[in-house]
Amino acid sequence: MTAVDRLNELLEAERAGVETLSRLFPEARTPEMKKLFGQVRDDEAWSCAGLARSIKTLGGVMSEKKGDFADKVMGEPTLAARLRLLNRGQGWVVKRLDALLGETLPASISDFLREMKKRHIANIEACERLAESLK
């Protein structure tokens, strides 16, 4: 699998993340939840843009696909369960980012991927705190 293939795999997942958070947003029970869901959705969209830019930088062709993760998350019975599944998906992305960061890539792409990882870890922590509070 090439770096472009891996970036496209992440792009498809991040698109699914945007959809997931857009579908979770109406379930927000408090202004704080709305803020968190909006922030995570915005980070997913920011990641999509950066991944598209990275693919183009490497001379690749951007995938038009989107993962089916939103349906899986929304199939969970409770908001806490949905957040935990969302976090598993976010953790999957972090692992893929670690693998990409081990490759030789242009500095602009590596810098973007490090920031993307940082945002995903912060979002995992925030969503986990929220899931815990819903028990």
Q: Are 10 and 51 in contact (CB under 8 A)?
A: yes
Predicted structure pTM score: 0.94
Q: For 84-117, how does the pLDDT look when each residue is reduced to its tens digit (9 = 90+)?
A: 999 999 999 999 999 999 999 999 999 999 999 9
Specify the pLDDT at position 68.
86
For the chain, how far is it from start to end, CA to CA, in angstroms? 41
Residue that has been written with the tokens 């704080």 in this structure: 32
Largest CA distance in the chain: 47
Q: How far apart are CA 4 and CA 59, in angstroms?
A: 8
Residues of the chain with pLDDT under 50: none
Specify the pLDDT at position 1.
87
Specify the pLDDT at position 135.
74
Q: Are 74 and 23 in contact (CB under 8 A)?
A: yes
Q: Could you tell me the domains of the chain?
A: 3-133 (1.20.1260.10)
Which DSSP category does 58 fall into? T
Q: How far apart are CA 47 and CA 120, in angstroms?
A: 10
Specify the pLDDT at position 118.
98
